[in-house]
């Protein structure tokens, strides 16, 4: 029997082990995939100290943006060379299907890192402002400078991609970073560290500490030498990170939970909207914060839509994520599976109708691993728990509405505001709805189309700040105004408003 590989941490350009280990378990088979070092608070402190030394040393921040971009592009080249390996690791550690790993989890990660490398070349790190004439002649220069040490705390669902969303702008802006992956899915981030090392990234600029969120993650959020925290995860944990970061007034970017409303207008192309609704809540078994988990249907089309929706859901192939024909794989852990099953049961107790799924999957392949099939709850009222709380699984709640105004009100009746969708053949009508929805992203006739060229983030308790887009580096820089006097002569200045003239 082949022994599972072991991955140490990456700190200050070196591979660092720990006394204890995490076991990485395949969620489809319950088999051991690998072990990783189980870091402790002292490892977090060591990583931050390494990042701070690197920042003060200045060999990264003092490079020209083009030089930084060149090294980032070399990391992209290494990741492209490792594409198949990264896909295999993603499937093994978090159960994503092969076709989704290739397109989204790994494919997007590599292309988004290249986007940030390109952005480093074009971002306006310094510009001259307007000439000032009052009270004296002067001109201003506005600079964008790196913050210093950044901590990125990354969840298990899209570990490599969401690490890139933090690593990419941090490096492009000239910062040094400490990344903490979720203990269930650290492998692709550690492979990223290998790629960065091979590409010539200076020691200490990137550090990866594998450890529990309650200790290592909390220490990074509170550490006085960390000047910026970027976190993706649950709203509850995001609130705790905000509290810890507030102790020394860090910059914070939070991308948190969601309960995405998916509004089908009465004129929608029903075939497209049905597939879009399934895609919205079943991609990666619904384990994405921006999933479309609340489907809002006009009463006039409710029965027709539900008939087609459930018939199409029956065609989704759940099974081995390594099989390219599989549409949906397992749930990340047994704990998450139990949580999802609890919500399915709770929804029915609250009065929802089990329209599809909701039962244990049968067959030999489902005897090991963590499995929940697509589940649709009909006749849901938006006040129900299943319509308000994030389930984080392949569970869709379906809500009827009478008027478009009512649909918009229902869509906004939530503490979340991360994602939303509108389906209509009338783009102007869909845009009118989109403008009224309190959400950081609204897709029209589509879902999950996150693009590096556009900002991503949430309203309300879905977070603050934005990742991606042309202004992504703003979150990882400090603005500095430099005043340059043009008057030059003493008599042209305003010193006399508090100083006596010479000779008095």
What are 8-53's pLDDT values in tens digits? Answer: 999 999 999 999 999 999 999 999 999 999 999 999 999 999 999 9
> In this predicted structure, what is the pLDDT of residue 48?
98
User: Residue 1 domain-assigned?
Assistant: no
Distance CA 320, CA 365 (A): 8
**Domain span at residue 92?**
6-256+458-482
Q: Which of 183, 191, 255, 467 is catalytic?
A: 255
292: CB partners within 8 A, 6+ apart: 260, 261, 262, 277, 280, 281, 396, 419, 420, 421, 447
Beta strand extents in 374-435 (DSSP E only): 375-378, 395-401, 419-423
In this structure, the answer to whether residues 160 and 120 fall within a common structural domain is: yes
Distance CA 150, CA 225 (A): 9
- Catalytic (active site) residue 289: yes
Task: Tell me what the mean pLDDT of segment 449-471 comes to.
Answer: 97
> In this predicted structure, what is the pLDDT of residue 2?
73
Percent of the chain with pLDDT over 90: 95
Task: Tell me what the mean pLDDT of segment 439-464 comes to.
Answer: 98
Identify whether the C-beta of residue 347 lies closer than 8 Å to the C-beta of residue 377: yes
183: CB partners within 8 A, 6+ apart: 22, 36, 38, 210, 211, 212, 213
Query: Is residue 80 classed exposed, middle or buried when 0-12, 13-18 and 19+ CB atoms within 10 A define those classes?
Result: middle
At residue 3 the predicted structure's pLDDT band, cuts being 50, 70 and 90, is confident
At residue 500 the predicted structure's pLDDT band, cuts being 50, 70 and 90, is confident
Higher pLDDT, 136 or 291: 291
Q: Which of 176, 183, 191, 289 is catalytic?
A: 289
User: Residue 88 domain-assigned?
Assistant: yes
User: Residue 498 domain-assigned?
Assistant: no
Domains in the chain: how many in total?
2
At residue 1 the predicted structure's pLDDT band, cuts being 50, 70 and 90, is low
In this structure, the answer to whether residues 219 and 140 fall within a common structural domain is: yes
Output helix, strand, coil percentages for the chain, rounded to the nearest 5.
40, 20, 40
In this structure, the answer to whether residues 467 and 384 fall within a common structural domain is: no
Q: Is the pLDDT of residue 504 over 70?
A: no
Identify whether the C-beta of residue 162 lies closer than 8 Å to the C-beta of residue 232: yes
Cβ neighbour number for residue 109 with a 10 Å cutoff: 27
In this structure, the answer to whether residues 39 and 128 fall within a common structural domain is: yes
CA distances 420 to 17, 111, 264, 453, 470, Å, are 43, 24, 11, 19, 22
> In this predicted structure, what is the pLDDT of residue 488?
82
User: Residue 497 domain-assigned?
Assistant: no
At residue 57 the predicted structure's pLDDT band, cuts being 50, 70 and 90, is very high
Task: Tell me what the mean pLDDT of segment 235-258 comes to.
Answer: 97
Give 292-333 pLDDT, tens digit per residue.
999 999 999 999 999 999 999 999 999 999 999 999 999 999
In this structure, the answer to whether residues 24 and 163 fall within a common structural domain is: yes
Contacts of 436-440 with C-beta under 8 Å, sequence gap 24+, read 436/408, 436/412, 437/261, 437/263, 437/408, 437/411, 437/412, 438/411, 438/412, 439/260, 439/261, 439/411, 440/466
In this structure, the answer to whether residues 297 and 332 fall within a common structural domain is: yes
Helix (H, G, I), strand (E, B) or coil at 468: coil
Structure tokens that stand for 229 in this block: 């925290």
In this structure, the answer to whether residues 129 and 213 fall within a common structural domain is: yes
Distance CA 11, CA 30 (A): 30
In this structure, the answer to whether residues 293 and 222 fall within a common structural domain is: no
Helix (H, G, I), strand (E, B) or coil at 194: helix
User: Residue 488 domain-assigned?
Assistant: no
> In this predicted structure, what is the pLDDT of residue 497?
82
Task: Tell me what the mean pLDDT of segment 454-480 comes to.
Answer: 97
Q: Is the pLDDT of residue 159 over 90?
A: yes
Distance CA 295, CA 492 (A): 67
Percent of the chain with pLDDT over 70: 100
User: Residue 413 domain-assigned?
Assistant: yes
Strands 176-180, 206-208: pairing is parallel
In this structure, the answer to whether residues 96 and 144 fall within a common structural domain is: yes
In this structure, the answer to whether residues 421 and 438 fall within a common structural domain is: yes
Mean pLDDT of the chain: 97
Residue showing tokens 């649709």: 376
User: Residue 494 domain-assigned?
Assistant: no
> In this predicted structure, what is the pLDDT of residue 489?
83
Identify whether the C-beta of residue 477 lies closer than 8 Å to the C-beta of residue 145: yes
User: Residue 493 domain-assigned?
Assistant: no
In this structure, the answer to whether residues 472 and 340 fall within a common structural domain is: no
Q: Which helix (H) or strand (E) holds 218?
A: helix 218-222
Residue showing tokens 């990882």: 476
In this structure, the answer to whether residues 133 and 172 fall within a common structural domain is: yes
Identify whether the C-beta of residue 113 lies closer than 8 Å to the C-beta of residue 79: yes
Residue showing tokens 């479309």: 292
What's the CATH code of the domain at 225?
3.40.605.10
Q: Rounded to an integer, what is the distance from CA 316 to the centroid of its chain?
A: 26
């Amino acid at each position: 029997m082949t022994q599972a590989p072991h991955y140490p941490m990456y700190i200050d350009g070196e591979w660092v082990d720990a006394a204890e280990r995490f076991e990485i378990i395949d969620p489809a088979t319950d088999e051991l995939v690998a072990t990783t070092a189980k870091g402790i608070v002292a490892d977090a402190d060591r990583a931050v100290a390494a990042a701070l030394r690197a920042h003060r040393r200045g060999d990264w921040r003092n490079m020209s943006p083009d030089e930084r971009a060149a090294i980032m592009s070399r990391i992209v080249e290494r990741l492209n060379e490792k594409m198949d390996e990264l896909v295999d690791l993603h499937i093994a550690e978090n159960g994503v299907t092969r076709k989704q790993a290739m397109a989204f989890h790994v494919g997007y990660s590599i292309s988004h890192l290249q986007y940030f490398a390109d952005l480093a070349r074009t971002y306006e790190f310094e510009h001259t402002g307007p000439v000032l004439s009052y009270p004296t002649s002067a001109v201003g220069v506005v600079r964008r400078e790196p913050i210093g040490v950044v901590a990125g705390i990354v969840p298990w669902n899209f570990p490599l991609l969401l690490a890139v969303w933090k690593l990419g702008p941090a490096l492009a802006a000239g910062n040094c970073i400490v990344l903490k992956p979720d203990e269930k899915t650290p492998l692709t981030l550690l492979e990223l560290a290998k790629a960065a090392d091979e590409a010539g990234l200076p020691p200490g600029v990137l550090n990866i500490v594998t450890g529990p969120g309650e200790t290592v993650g909390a220490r990074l959020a509170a550490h006085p030498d960390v000047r910026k925290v970027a976190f993706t995860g649950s709203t509850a944990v995001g609130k705790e990170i905000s509290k810890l970061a507030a102790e020394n007034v860090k910059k914070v970017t939070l991308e948190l939970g969601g309960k995405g409303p998916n509004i089908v207008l009465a004129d929608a192309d029903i075939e497209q909207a049905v597939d879009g609704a399934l895609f919205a809540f079943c991609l990666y078994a619904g384990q994405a914060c921006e999933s479309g988990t609340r489907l809002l249907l006009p009463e006039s089309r409710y029965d027709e839509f539900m008939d087609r929706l459930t018939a199409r859901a029956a065609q989704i192939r759940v099974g081995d994520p390594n099989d390219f024909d599989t549409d949906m794989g397992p749930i990340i852990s047994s704990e998450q599976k139990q949580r999802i099953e609890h919500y399915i049961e709770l929804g029915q107790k609250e009065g929802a109708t089990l329209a599809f799924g909701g039962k244990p999957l049968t067959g030999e392949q489902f005897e090991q691993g963590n499995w929940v099939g697509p589940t649709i709850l009909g006749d849901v009222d938006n006040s129900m728990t299943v319509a308000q709380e994030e389930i984080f699984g392949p569970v869709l709640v379906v809500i009827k509405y009478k008027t478009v105004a009512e649909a918009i009100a229902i869509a906004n009746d939530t503490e979340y505001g991360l994602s939303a969708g509108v389906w209509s053949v009338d783009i102007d009508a869909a845009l009118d709805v989109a403008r009224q929805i309190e959400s950081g992203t609204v897709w029209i006739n589509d879902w999950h189309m996150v693009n590096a060229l556009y900002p991503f983030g949430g309203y309300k308790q879905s977070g603050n700040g934005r990742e991606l887009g042309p202004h992504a580096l703003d979150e990882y820089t400090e603005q500095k105004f430099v005043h340059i006097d043009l008057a030059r002569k003493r008599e042209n200045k305003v010193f006399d408003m508090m100083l006596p003239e010479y000779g008095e």
